[in-house]
Copies of this chain bind each other. A is one copy, B any other.
Amino acid sequence: MTCHLKPDARAVTIAVGSELLTPDRTDTNSLFVTARLNAIGIDVAAKHVVGDRRLDLLAVLRESLDHADLVILTGGLGPTADDITRAVVAEAFGVPLLEDGIVLERIRRRFAARGIAMPEINRRQALVPRGATILPNENGTAPGLLFERDGRTVVLLPGPPREMHPMFERFVAEHLAPYAGATRIVRRVLCITGRTESQVDELVQPVYGPWQQADPPIATSILATLGQIELHLSVRAVAPAEGEARLARAAAQLRTVLGTDLFSDDGRSLEQVVGERLLTRRWRIAVAESCTGGLLSSRLTDVPGSSAYVDRGVVCYSNRAKTDLADVPPAIIEQHGAVSEPAAVAMAEGIRLRAGVEVGVGITGIAGPGGGSDTKPVGTVVVAIAYPDGHTVRTMRFVGGREQIKFQSAQAALDMVRRHLEG
């Protein structure tokens, strides 16, 4: 099989599906594809989203073929009449769609393994533009397709990420790698807490100014996300190791100005960093959550291997549960209220002692939309961390909706634990 991708090849992604043109949906497949293409030196020049309309997809596909070496389409490979990607690609190249016996048999077997006869409509998924290479789908019925013609490569991938990602890793990456350009794009994400976006910009500007004049330059961008600021660095390099070494030196320079506000210089999440710090110190953690409702536990346990240091979590919404599960003395709640520093400290100390671990966390607050008052408005959150030798406690006020307040509260608790473990 020949591949016509040139050095410094340019790619375009097209996500197909009318649901991606509604106010609530966004195309995330292109993010995965971009990361994988960048890793082999292919730049993404444009991303498109089109609905299930033949003429719209045809127009965008033709325009893309005029300007890119590689076009990656995701979605529209399902079995229903509004799945048009196969047919439009065949039309764009002027080739017929033919039923592929091997693909059809694979789809039948997939249904049979679940004890179901293949619905007749799934037959459509065995249609292949003549000359296309079939990319087996190990997690679904629709195969991917790879089509090369006129110096252009077009790849059709299923929309569901759990089908698309493994197919890309297994069949597409392998196919494209030998033809990618002479340089690779290497990226690094630094994550920061405790500062605003403009504070970070002011601090780091003197450091990264000179990089933009270097050859090749290190590109930087600052991004404010919920609960953290991210610095994205990228550079082109012939050997990935060389680019990574440059970005590692750049990250080290930034660490000198950002200090402990920089919690991750390789994109690791705050829960991963906290997990590593706990493992290193051989400490275990237990959490008592009110307003975050289990989110802190859930984030801690998103990390593979977290059972080594997460002992337990309790979600104690009601006052009685705070007493039952974290031994909070009812008198403290009566005297200071459930959202108070003494209550948060009692939750942290209580769960720490009950679990017999080194770190206890107590979170209590008002996530809204109801429950606020003049003195304790919605967004008021108290976080306490108890250690073998004492505790820290902070009262904060967050803005946003209920889920944003929950996230920021969990983020603040993780950050307080991190700073104690690093300090």
Q: How far is the CA of A59 from the CA of B45 in the complex (A)?
A: 12
B contact residues around A31 at 8 Å (CB): 23-26
Q: Which of A44, A66, A222, A317 has the most CB of B within 10 A?
A: A317
Q: How far is the CA of A399 from the CA of B313 in the complex (A)?
A: 26
Q: A21 touching B47 by the CB < 8 A rule? A: yes
- How many residues on chain A are close to B (CB under 8 Å)? 101
Interface flags, A311-346, vs B, CB<8A=1, else 0: 111111110010011000000000000000000000
Q: How far is the CA of A78 from the CA of B297 in the complex (A)?
A: 34
Q: Which of A21, A189, A226, A295 has the most CB of B within 10 A?
A: A21
Q: B304 touching A368 by the CB < 8 A rule? A: yes
Q: B46 touching A50 by the CB < 8 A rule? A: yes
A91 within 8 A of B: no
Q: A221 touching B17 by the CB < 8 A rule? A: yes
A273 within 8 A of B: no
Q: A315 touching B310 by the CB < 8 A rule? A: yes
Residue of B nearest to A354 (CB): B324
Q: A23 touching B187 by the CB < 8 A rule? A: yes
Q: How far is the CA of A22 from the CA of B47 in the complex (A)?
A: 11
11 further A-B pairs in the complex, CB-CB below 8 A; given A80-B201, A122-B198: A17-B221, A21-B45, A23-B31, A24-B31, A48-B48, A293-B306, A294-B301, A297-B298, A311-B317, A312-B314, A312-B321
Q: A315 touching B302 by the CB < 8 A rule? A: no
Tell me which of B82, B310, B324, B406 contacts A293 (CB under 8 A).
B310
Q: A232 touching B298 by the CB < 8 A rule? A: no
Could you tell me the dominant secondary structure of chain A's interface residues?
mixed
In chain A, positions 225-240 with a C-beta closer than 8 Å to chain B are 226, 230, 232, 234
A420 within 8 A of B: no
Residue of B nearest to A31 (CB): B23
Tell me which of B53, B162, B318 contacts A404 (CB under 8 A).
B162
Q: B202 touching A119 by the CB < 8 A rule? A: yes
A174 within 8 A of B: no
Q: How far is the CA of A313 from the CA of B144 in the complex (A)?
A: 43
Q: How far is the CA of A66 from the CA of B45 in the complex (A)?
A: 21
Contacts known (A23-B32, A312-B314); A202 close to B18, Cβ less than 8 A = no
Residue of B nearest to A66 (CB): B59
In chain A, positions 374-413 with a C-beta closer than 8 Å to chain B are 399-400, 402-404, 406
Smallest CB–CB gap between A59 and chain B, Å? 6
Contacts known (A19-B221, A318-B307, A370-B304); A28 close to B26, Cβ less than 8 A = yes
Q: A35 touching B59 by the CB < 8 A rule? A: no
